[in-house]
Structure formats: C-alpha cells, structure tokens
Structure 1
Amino acid sequence: MNKGKTKAQTKKHLSIVFIPHSSNHVKVFRFSSFYVKFFAAFLLTAVLVTAAVLYFKQVTNENQLLKENLTELYSANSQQRKLLEEKSDEIAQMKESNEAYQKTVDEKTADITKKFNEITDQYIANQSLTKTSRSGERTPAGFSDEIGVLKDMIDGMNRLTNRTDLVTLDLSEANEKLEKYFETIPTLVPVNGEFNNGFGYRKDPFTKKKTFHEGVDISADTGTSIKASAGGKVTLAKRYSGYGLAVIIDHGHGISTLYGHASKLLVKEGQTVKKGDIIAKVGSTGRSTGPHLHFEVLLYNTPVDPEAYIDIK
C-alpha cells in the first residue's frame, strides 16, 4: 500500500491556478506532463510549419518577380539587337555613300588640278612665243584673271558640298612654276621717285625735235638705290652709248630690262640677280639733263611700255 501510494504521489503534473478578483474561490487545473509536452511540441511544429510556408511563399514571389524582370530584360536585349542591326545597316550604307562621294570629289579634284597645271604650262609657253607691239598689249593680267576664275570655281565647289575638308587641291607644282615665271616678269618699280617722261613720242630735250622715247624716266636723288624689276642674268653692266652707266638684265621668255644714267654700278656682267636686288645707284651720266633713272622693258629686243608691266600703286 505505501509503495503504490508513493509511486502515485511522485507522478508529475502541471497545475494552472486562476485566482479571480471578484471572489475568493480559486480554480486549479492540473495537467499531466505528457499532455504539456505534447501541446508544446504541437505548438512548436505549428510555428515552424507556418514559418516555412511563409518563407517558401516569399521565395516563390521573389522568383516570380525575378522571372518577370528577366523576361523584360530579354525583351529589351532583343529590341536593342534589332536596333543595332538596323543602325549597322544604315552605317554601312552611309559608309558606301561617303566612299562613293569621296571618290567623285577626288576625281573632280584631280581634274581641276590637272586643268590648273595645263593652263599654267600653256600660258607660260604662249607668253614665251608671243611677240607684241610697242603698245605693250601683252600683260600677265589676263592669266591672273583666268586663275582667279578657276579658284572661284574651287571655292564654289567647296560651298556647294559644304565639305571644305574634302576638296584639297595640290597646286604646289603649278604655283612653283608661276612663282618662278612671275619672278622673271618686270613688275617691280625699280626706284622710288616721280614718273615724269612716259613711253612714246615726245619733244627731245636736246634736239627739241619729236622723237620716240623707248622707256620711262623716274626722277630721284643721286645715289638712290636702283632695284632689279625682275630676276634674271646681267648681260651688260658698263657705260652704254647715250645711256651712260647702264645695266641690262635678261629675264628669259624674250624679256629684258635696261637701267640707264646710273652714277654707280653694283653688279657685273654674267651675274644672276633676284627681283628687288640693288643693282646700281641713280645718277645723271650719259645723255641726261638731271639725276633720274631711264627704265626700259624690251620684248624680243623691241621696247614696250614699262607701265604695262610694273605695278604702280
């Protein structure tokens, strides 16, 4: 008896006591430890299951959102690829068009360059072969006009295309020929002074008769520098008949110049001079009435009007 009672008394229970405020009656609920453990296990399982369900639902939602984003991304990439292909085709067409355009411009550029060179060569050749009268009708002005028209054509081509970087003409060869040619044209006024006796008929200061004056007289102080009106080779540098101390320069192309009545000569025969080189000093030697330069331009030994050549500003 005592053993059974002791065993029953040692059985564990869980008691929950309720004490109401309105009365002194206390309620006691007793639960065996088995049910308590069972309930706790059930509650824990329910919490874990609920947490797992919520977690997997969140993961599912995130995966769905990620899938939608990937779908949009694939769609955008597809559109980009399509646009890139279209633009690539456009770029290829533009490149072909630009290459064709560049080829056309290059051909036109080559034609103009060739024409420019041909005009230059033809003009210089014609000038070398053509003779003229004493009126001095032949001048470089005509050629300058032709070149000006040609350059206007080039500028017009640039304006029309609005691509000035594409039209690049190599006119160095022609320009070099022109510079070399114009170096031999007596365009430089040989002395600073006053023009007082022009080319043509006049009353001779010594004989008082009407005679033909084959050059121009430029009054200047004795010792004033006389410059070569053009480049060339000195063929005479000495006292020369009524011209007194004189210099004659052969410029080629049938053109030569004479500088008379100098007080001093600064060049020798056979010497090569450039346009603007000082060749003598103004004087009054020879058949002269006072210090001045008598200047002549001769074309194939025929005197022509120097003022048709020299640049009088």
Structure 2
Amino acid sequence: MQIMITHGRLARTRVLQLAPWQLAFLVLLLAAAMLALSGAIYHFIFLKAARDGWPVVSQLVKLVVKDEFAQRDRFMRENLDAMAQRVGEMQAKLIHLEAVGERVSGLAGLKPEEIKPASDTQPAKPGEATGPGGQGGPFIPSGRPSLTELNRAIDWLDEFSAQRADVFTMIEARLFEEQMKSLMVPNTKPVEGHTSSGFGFRSDPFSGRSALHTGLDFPAPTGSPIMAAAGGVVVRAEAHPQYGNMIDLDHGNGLVTRYAHASRLLAQQGDLVKRGQVIAHVGSTGRSTGPHLHFEVLMGGVHQDPAKFLTNDAPAATAVAERPSRGRNSRVARSVAAVGIDATPAAP
C-alpha cells in the first residue's frame, strides 16, 4: 500500500510504502487510541457531569446511563438482602452452638466461670444495648440493612466464633484429661473367665482357719495370658515367697494393681504398659494350690475390693466373697485344689 503526501507550496510529493502487517498494526493502534480517548471522555466528562450535576451534560448522561444505574442499584439491594439473611442464619446457629457448648461443658465438668471470656462479658450484638438489663437473641435486620450494619454483624460473628472456639478447646482438653484418667482405672479383667474366690474372709486352704483374702482369684490353665487391667508403670517384677512370680503396676494417684502366682513374667520393672497388654502368664508359683491369677487392687497401700473396679465381674466376685465357709479342712482343701485358688495372706 502506498500513501502519497503532497504539499501545495513546495509542490513536492512524498510516498510512504506500507506493508500489510504495518497497515494492520496502524489500524490496531488507531483503534486503541480511539478506545482510550472515548474512555477518558466518558470518565472525566460524562461521569463527572453526572456527579456534579452540570446543567446540560448531566441530563444527557442520566438519560444514557439511567438503566445501568438502576441495574447496579437493584443488584446491590439483592446482594445486601441475601447477605443479611445469611448473617442472621449464622448468628442463630452460633447462639445454638453456645447453648450446646454450655451443656457439653457441664458434662465435661467445667464450671460456668471457667468458660467465660477474660472480660467476663459476651460481645455485644449489633444494635444491642450495652447498658444494664439482659438482652439477647440473634441479630436479624428488619427491612433493608445498610452496609455498616452488616459489617458490625460480621465483626460480632468473628469475635463470638473465636470465643466459642476457645470454649470448645477447653472442653476438648478436659475430656482428654478424663479419658486419660479412665485409661488409668483398672476396670478390665486381667484374665478371661470367671472368679473362683472373692475379696473378704474365707477359710484358709492350708490351715482351714478364717483369713482375709485380699484379692480376686481367676482360675485358668497354666500359660494363659495375664493382661494389664489398666495402663501404668511396672514398679515391681520379682519372685515373692508367698505371691510367687508377681508384678505390681502403678497407675498414679496411689493406685496399684498386683498380679501374682505367674508362671512367667513378660514385663520388667520400669516398663510402661497399656491396658490389655500381656504382662505375664498364669501359673501356680508361691503359696498356691493350682494354676490361677491372684489379682489385687491397692489404694495408698490399702487393699481394696477389685470387684468394685471390675464392674463386669462385680456380681460374681461379690457373691463368692460373701459366701460363708463350711465343712472340714479336708473338704476345703479338695475344693481349693479343684478350682485353683491361693492362700496368699495380706501383702507385705
């Protein structure tokens, strides 16, 4: 493409040679300049005229952009209404969550004063009076809310949710603490099966005289697994003249369980064991008449009835413990040999 430029006075002609790609680039550059110019005119003249109310131009601009402003206004109103509804629903859910948190905290053993914020007050709801007198309920704006009201509501939601998160963190910590305590309570049978002799006075299987039996007896074949009734630390794992091969587990707070007459000890002193872990095998070592486990529970060095801890076995064990001893010594010795109970006196 050629463009000829002629100047009248000098009668000289200039010829410009444009390749196709140069022509296309020139057209695009011209179009971009037109768009930029029109945008600048629209922004700096027409919109300014509409805002400042120029006498003639503002009327023309309002006629041109009237529909556009109406659409924008309608869109904003619809969005504000939708946001207000969502904020109201979220606040109602948080109020419900607060009630649930208070109930759960009560079940977890937390006192009301322990879950109150440091300021001892709840964040004021948007539009709620902060003076004396109780007020409450979720904030659901009536009519069409303003953007300022929505911002206040969102700020309240943020602060309130942060407080609820802290409360549930405390509840989680307390429940975990209670769970750890339950894991340290010996309420699991150390040997599968029934008990043959309970806690209390009975006829001694060797002397025939009345004596205190300080634990529960679990008859089982030699080599049967003995499991820890709860998690704890092995404080004794040794042979004893009367208890035979025995293990003592310390569960904390002065609570100790004892496992006696084992044929083999698997845990050693200082070991940390968990509930249900096999720590020994059933035997008949020490002062015993047959293979069985003698199980004791001591609190502060004082023997307790293990049946009170082993809830699943409590009725049977209690019944055995309360059964009166009758008959001659030979009859007692035969029954003892049949079921395999021990004649272990009180612990040293």
Q: How does 1:5-16 map to 2 (within 5 A)?
A: none
SS at match of 2:180: helix
Offset at residue 311 of structure 1 (A): 4.5
Partner of 1:102: 93
SS at match of 1:288: coil
The answer to whether residue 300 in structure 2 is matched with residue 297 in structure 1 is: no
Partner of 1:266: 266
Counterparts in 2 of 1:119 and 1:197: CA distance versus 1, 3 Å: farther
Partner of residue 111 from structure 1, selected from 91, 102, 116? 102
The CA distance in 2 between the partners of 1:191 and 1:119, in whole Å, is 37
Partner of 1:192: 192
Structure 1 counterpart of 2:90, one-letter code: E
Offset at residue 93 of structure 1 (A): 4.8
Counterparts in 2 of 1:89 and 1:266: CA distance versus 1, 3 Å: closer
- Contact 1:234/1:272 (CA < 8 Å) preserved in 2? yes
Offset at residue 92 of structure 1 (A): 5.0
Counterparts in 2 of 1:220 and 1:299: CA distance versus 1, 3 Å: same
Offset at residue 96 of structure 1 (A): 4.1
TM-score, L = length of structure 1: 0.53
Structure 1 counterpart of 2:96, one-letter code: V
Counterparts in 2 of 1:109 and 1:266: CA distance versus 1, 3 Å: same
- Contact 1:189/1:311 (CA < 8 Å) preserved in 2? no
The CA distance in 2 between the partners of 1:311 and 1:190, in whole Å, is 13
Structure 2 counterpart of 1:95, one-letter code: R
The CA distance in 1 between the partners of 2:293 and 2:246, in whole Å, is 10
Partner of 2:282: 282
Offset at residue 84 of structure 1 (A): 8.1
Offset at residue 194 of structure 1 (A): 3.0
SS at match of 1:270: coil
User: Which deviates more, 103-112 or 190-199?
Assistant: 103-112
Q: How does 1:59-138 map to 2 (within 5 A)?
A: 91=82, 93-119=84-110
Offset at residue 103 of structure 1 (A): 3.3
- Contact 1:117/1:173 (CA < 8 Å) preserved in 2? no
Counterparts in 2 of 1:199 and 1:176: CA distance versus 1, 3 Å: same
Counterparts in 2 of 1:238 and 1:208: CA distance versus 1, 3 Å: same
The answer to whether residue 193 in structure 2 is matched with residue 202 in structure 1 is: no
Alignment coverage as a number of residue pairs: 193
User: Which deviates more, 230-239 or 110-119?
Assistant: 110-119
Partner of 1:232: 232
Offset at residue 97 of structure 1 (A): 2.5
The CA distance in 2 between the partners of 1:247 and 1:295, in whole Å, is 10
- Contact 1:259/1:295 (CA < 8 Å) preserved in 2? yes
Long gaps (5+) in structure 2: 1-70, 112-160, 314-348
The CA distance in 2 between the partners of 1:222 and 1:88, in whole Å, is 78
SS at match of 2:195: strand
The CA distance in 1 between the partners of 2:83 and 2:274, in whole Å, is 57
The CA distance in 2 between the partners of 1:117 and 1:182, in whole Å, is 13
Long gaps (5+) in structure 1: 1-79, 121-165
SS at match of 1:196: coil
Offset at residue 180 of structure 1 (A): 1.6
The CA distance in 2 between the partners of 1:114 and 1:237, in whole Å, is 41
Offset at residue 270 of structure 1 (A): 1.5
Structure 1 counterpart of 2:102, one-letter code: D
- Contact 1:225/1:282 (CA < 8 Å) preserved in 2? yes
CA RMSD for the aligned pairs? 3.2
- Contact 1:257/1:295 (CA < 8 Å) preserved in 2? yes
The CA distance in 2 between the partners of 1:200 and 1:119, in whole Å, is 39
The answer to whether residue 207 in structure 2 is matched with residue 216 in structure 1 is: no
Counterparts in 2 of 1:112 and 1:270: CA distance versus 1, 3 Å: same
The CA distance in 2 between the partners of 1:84 and 1:280, in whole Å, is 76
The CA distance in 1 between the partners of 2:283 and 2:201, in whole Å, is 24
Structure 1 counterpart of 2:186, one-letter code: P
- Contact 1:217/1:292 (CA < 8 Å) preserved in 2? yes
SS at match of 1:195: coil
SS at match of 2:208: coil
The CA distance in 1 between the partners of 2:217 and 2:190, in whole Å, is 11
> Is the radius of gyration larger for structure 1 or structure 2?
1
